[in-house]
Chain A
Amino acid sequence: GNSVTQMEGPVTLSEEAFLTINCTYTATGYPSLFWYVQYPGEGLQLLLKATKADDKGSNKGFEATYRKETTSFHLEKGSVQVSDSAVYFCALSDPGDDYKLSFGAGTTVTVRA
């Protein structure tokens, strides 16, 4: 079956620090990969996506590269802000599983001024 594994949190950083959240996956087919962000009390918002190997998704200073050889999709940002404090979810959509989304457990990130 499909599964997504994210690095455990919580992660606490100072402003302007470098952020990496590791994500690896197992899929039966050839999935598309996503990062979603959830701010307190809200639903999930799509942060970025990648649909094939070596694609790089980017948005709001965040980047992630689809690495088929290592089955990974690590999220990075070079200089975080307090407003980046949120829960981040890695997810995959597998055509071999009716295109349903499989989510990681989420990583809570707190950025201190």
Chain B
Amino acid sequence: DGGITQSPKYLFRKEGQNVTLSCEQNLNHDAMYWYRQDPGQGLRLIYYSQIVNDFQKGDIAEGYSVSREKKESFPLTVTSAQKNPTAFYLCASSIQTGQSNQPQHFGDGTRLSIL
């Protein structure tokens, strides 16, 4: 079955550490996205990528970094500069960004906690 795989499901980080969240899709989608979800705040866009080797900042990019070396993969690194990283992180993809009616498909998320 095609879909989006996020790993790990749960992740723990010590203060001062960088951690990388994995997102892989086999839907052959061009665009990929990272969101952060906090209770009562909905989803906020961290980064997005419309094409391989290109990405743009979303609304809350500070303290995060991404890469898009392959169409299928869009890993997110939460750096030590992110002061409040505890959250639920969701990865999504869509067929292309040139059409607003194309829905985004989501993975099952990674819950990051600080030890």
Question: A31's closest neighbor in chain B, by CB?
Answer: B100
How many residues belonging to A are interface residues under a CB distance threshold of 8 Å?
A: 24
Please, which residues of chain B bring their CB within 8 A of the CB of A36? 106
CB <8 Å contact, A42 and B45: no
CB <8 Å contact, A43 and B106: yes
CB <8 Å contact, B99 and A99: yes
Complex CA distance for A98 and B33, rounded to whole angstroms: 13
Please, which residues of chain B bring their CB within 8 A of the CB of A105? 40-42
Complex CA distance for A93 and B48, rounded to whole angstroms: 14
CB of A95 closer than 8 Å to a CB of B: yes
Q: Contact string, A24-59, partner B, CB cutoff 8 A, digits 1/0?
A: 000000011010100001111110010100000000
Complex CA distance for A50 and B45, rounded to whole angstroms: 22
One of A43, A46, A98, A100 near B90 (C-beta < 8 A): A43
Chain B, interface residues (CB within 8 Å), range: 20 to 34
CB proximity of A93 to chain B, nearest CB, Å: 4
Complex CA distance for A45 and B40, rounded to whole angstroms: 18
Complex CA distance for A62 and B33, rounded to whole angstroms: 27
Q: Contact string, A92-109, partner B, CB cutoff 8 A, digits 1/0?
A: 011100111101111000
CB <8 Å contact, A103 and B109: no
CB of B69 closer than 8 Å to a CB of A: no
CB of A89 closer than 8 Å to a CB of B: yes
Complex CA distance for A104 and B43, rounded to whole angstroms: 8
Please, which residues of chain A bring their CB within 8 A of the CB of B8? none
Complex CA distance for A96 and B104, rounded to whole angstroms: 17
CB <8 Å contact, A43 and B107: yes
Most buried by B among A46, A99, A103, A105: A99
- Closest A-B pairs by Cβ, 9 of them: A43-B106, A51-B101, A103-B42, A93-B100, A44-B106, A105-B42, A32-B101, A32-B100, A103-B43
11 A-B pairs in the complex with CB atoms less than 8 angstroms apart: A43-B90, A43-B109, A44-B90, A44-B92, A51-B101, A89-B42, A89-B43, A94-B100, A99-B99, A104-B42, A105-B42
Name B's A-contacting residues (CB within 8 A): 4, 6, 33, 40-43, 45, 48, 56, 58, 90, 92, 97-109
